[in-house]
């Protein structure tokens, strides 16, 4: 099974493709969609939409995982992140993909076993779980891979529950 994980953002939208085969996980590809802060918001969202659509066509994942919107201290970033999430949800719907929405704490729990893990712990575990030679960069990409891993686990658990 292939899972596409996305860390939504309008400036940097991290993505990662994880394959689960015979109980093992591996990173098939990962990166970040970067947009210019000088570009109009509609152009930034169009770039995210176009690149995500291309990734879905190339890799054909069965599930897409995306972080649920989290209102932290900086609520001004919530609106552009919400807009990027909308694009991601649209891509999932247009391609008839199963969608796993997951909170940051749920991702951390899934990856490290502790919902309060810090970013360095998550990056370390993503690197180990996927047997990467070095930590993925930028951090948004590591977060996307963590989301893909968690979405893969969730989709696998859902399939098992429905099979039994």
Active site residues: 7, 67, 140
Q: Per-residue DSSP letters for 100-164? A: EEE-HHHHHHHHHS-TT--HHHHHHHHHHHTT-SS--SSHHHHHHHHHHHHHHHHHHHHHHHHH-
Q: What is the DSSP string of 40-63?
A: -HHHHHHHHHHHHHHHHHHH--SE
Q: How many residues does the chain have?
A: 164
């Amino acid at each position: 099974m292939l899972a596409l994980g996305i860390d939504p953002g309008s400036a940097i939208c991290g993505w990662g493709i994880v394959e689960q085969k015979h109980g093992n996980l591996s990173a098939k590809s990962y990166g970040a969609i970067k947009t210019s802060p000088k570009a109009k918001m509609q152009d930034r969202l169009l770039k995210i939409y176009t690149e995500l659509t291309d990734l879905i066509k190339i890799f054909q994942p069965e599930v897409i995982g995306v972080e649920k919107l989290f209102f932290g201290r900086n609520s001004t970033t919530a609106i552009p992140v919400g807009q990027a999430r909308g694009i991601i949800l649209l891509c999932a719907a247009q391609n008839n993909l199963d969608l796993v929405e997951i909170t940051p704490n749920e991702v951390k729990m899934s990856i490290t076993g502790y919902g309060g893990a810090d970013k360095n712990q998550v990056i370390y575990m993503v690197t180990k779980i996927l047997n990467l030679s070095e930590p993925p960069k930028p951090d948004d990409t590591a977060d996307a891979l963590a989301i893909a891993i968690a979405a893969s686990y969730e989709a696998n658990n859902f399939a098992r529950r429905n099979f039994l």
